[in-house]
Each structure stands twice: as structure tokens, then as C-alpha cells.
Amino acid sequence: MNPDAPLALIGYSPDTARALRTFGLLSLAVPEGPPGDVVGALKTLRFTGALIAPHLEEVMLAHAQPDAAARKAGRVDALSFSGALHATHTLEEAVVRLVEDSGYAARGAQVLIVGDGTWLRAALGVARLGAPSVTVASSSRPEAERVIALLPGGVKGYAVAAADGALAALAERADLVVVANGPLPAGVLQPYHTLLDLSGGALPLASRQGVATIDCTGLLAWRLSLQLEHATGQRFKPEALAEITATLSS
């Protein structure tokens, strides 16, 4: 990759572009338009790659060559124009790196994951760290079953609707409770659990119950680090990126 080639920010604000320039990246916020036209123009203009804002992730999937992570998520958050137009989605890997970096002993832990959609699928990444079984509680049992089908081979999966009364019993055998998004059903969290709360909504309850938690404040920095590595080929330490992640939602 050419280190002097510009990085496109599709759907992001100029503030994000200015923040990334402090790291020596020639980053430009580009106008939104028909995805195929935008991607074609950026490749013609020899951009090194692009970061994709959340509201465009799904539509961009059809306009690049997605890797396994992007196909699993059904979305794209980073493009590389080096050779073929390669696309990835970094959220799951960011969750994995966050848990690894936390020092939590995930191998052998029984996992319960609560949530829906993209964040639920990303939270499945914890199963890659040696979980023997994963219970997924989603808005409906069919949705939970679809997500369970994405688990790595050798991991036992259990699907349940979040409103199902059986969830409390399933939660009793969990070591790690992961809240991907949405509310945590009443009675699920117990003092012996460890909580990984990607949304932050269950942290007050965990504090009242004395539940151990995994710090998720670095998640967006891990994700940005992975996006930049894919799009530019350059590696940045997540802690160095922490201060600018707030602009990603602008």
C-alpha cells in the first residue's frame, strides 16, 4: 500500500477526518452517493482504502469482495483498494481483542449472550476464546437459532428467546454474561457472573450486585485500529486512538 495515498471516510464528518490527520493520515470525508459510483471513483483516484460509517455498512456489502468476517456480519466497515477491492467488518475481532487484552480467563467459560442484530453476531467472537458452550438469548428463538448456527465447530449452542422463563435457569450455569445490546432480562445477572456489557446499560445493576465486569471503554479504539490496518496497512495502538473515537459517531 502507498503510505501517501489518501484514506476515504464515507459517511463520516470532517471532524473525524481532521482527527485522523493528527496521526499522519491523509484522510478525507467524501460525499455520499450511489455506493458503486463512490467506490469506483475512490479506486480510480487511487485512495488507499476507506472507512464506512455504520449507516452505510449494509449497503456497501454488495460493492466489494467481502472476507469471512464481512460475510458473517452481513456488513462492511473498512475497504482496501490494494489490488482487488477487499472488504471486512471488524467489530467481532475488536470484541475478541478487547477480551484477550482484559486478562479474563475465557477458556472453559460457559457463556450467555443477550442481544440482537449486528452486535449480537459480533459478541459471538468470545466463543473463539475457548468457550465450550454458548447460550444465545435474542428477541425471538428463531433469531437466536440463526445466530447459534454461526458458532465455531465444537462449541455447543443453546437458543432461547430473551422473554422465555427458561432463560434464568440457563443463566445459572453461565460464567460470563455478555450484553451485546438492549436490556438485560430481570433475574439473569448473579453475583458469581462476570459481565461483558458492550452497551453499558447493565453496568449500574452489576455495580449494585458486586458483579465483576470487563472494561469495554477500549472497544471502539480496538475497532478503529483494526479498520485502519485493513484500509491503510498501518498499525496503530488502540490506546493511542482512544481520544478520537468520539468523533466516529459524529
Q: How much is the pLDDT for 221? A: 96
User: C-alpha grid cell for residue 173?
Assistant: 450455569
User: C-alpha grid cell for residue 36?
Assistant: 458503486
Do 53 and 140 fall into the same domain?
A: no
Residue 75 · residue 51 · CB < 8 Å: no
Could you tell me the CATH number of the domain that includes residue 54? 3.40.50.10860
- Rounded distance, CA 24 to CA 21, Å? 5
User: C-alpha grid cell for residue 198?
Assistant: 458492550
Enclosing domain of residue 182: 105-213
Sorted by sequence, the CB contacts under 8 Å of residue 208 that are 6+ apart come out as none
- Please state, as a whole number, how many other Cβ atoms lie within 10 Å of the Cβ of residue 173: 11
Do 41 and 139 fall into the same domain?
A: no
Do 15 and 73 fall into the same domain?
A: yes
State pTM to two decimals.
0.94
pLDDT in tens, the chain (250 residues): 666 799 999 999 999 999 999 888 999 999 999 999 999 999 999 999 999 999 999 999 999 999 999 999 999 999 999 877 899 999 999 999 999 999 999 999 999 999 999 999 999 999 999 999 999 999 999 999 999 999 999 999 999 999 999 999 999 999 999 999 999 999 999 999 999 999 999 999 999 999 999 999 999 999 999 999 999 999 999 999 988 887 775 4
Do 204 and 223 fall into the same domain?
A: no
Do 193 and 231 fall into the same domain?
A: no
Does some domain include residue 194? yes
Residue 151 · residue 175 · CB < 8 Å: no
Does some domain include residue 99? no
> Which helix (DSSP H) or strand (DSSP E) does residue 230 occupy?
helix 219-232
Sorted by sequence, the CB contacts under 8 Å of residue 153 that are 6+ apart come out as none
Could you tell me the CATH number of the domain that includes residue 110? 3.40.50.720
Q: How much is the pLDDT for 250? A: 47
Does some domain include residue 97? no
User: C-alpha grid cell for residue 130?
Assistant: 475457548
Do 149 and 197 fall into the same domain?
A: yes
Do 188 and 238 fall into the same domain?
A: no
Domain count, the chain: 2
Do 110 and 172 fall into the same domain?
A: yes
Among 89, 39, 44, smallest CA distance to 64 is for 39
Amino acid identity, residue 246? Answer: A
Does some domain include residue 118? yes
Do 192 and 227 fall into the same domain?
A: no
Sheet holding 27-30, edge to edge: 27-30, 7-10, 49-52, 78-80, 86-88, 65-66
Amino acid identity, residue 20? Answer: L
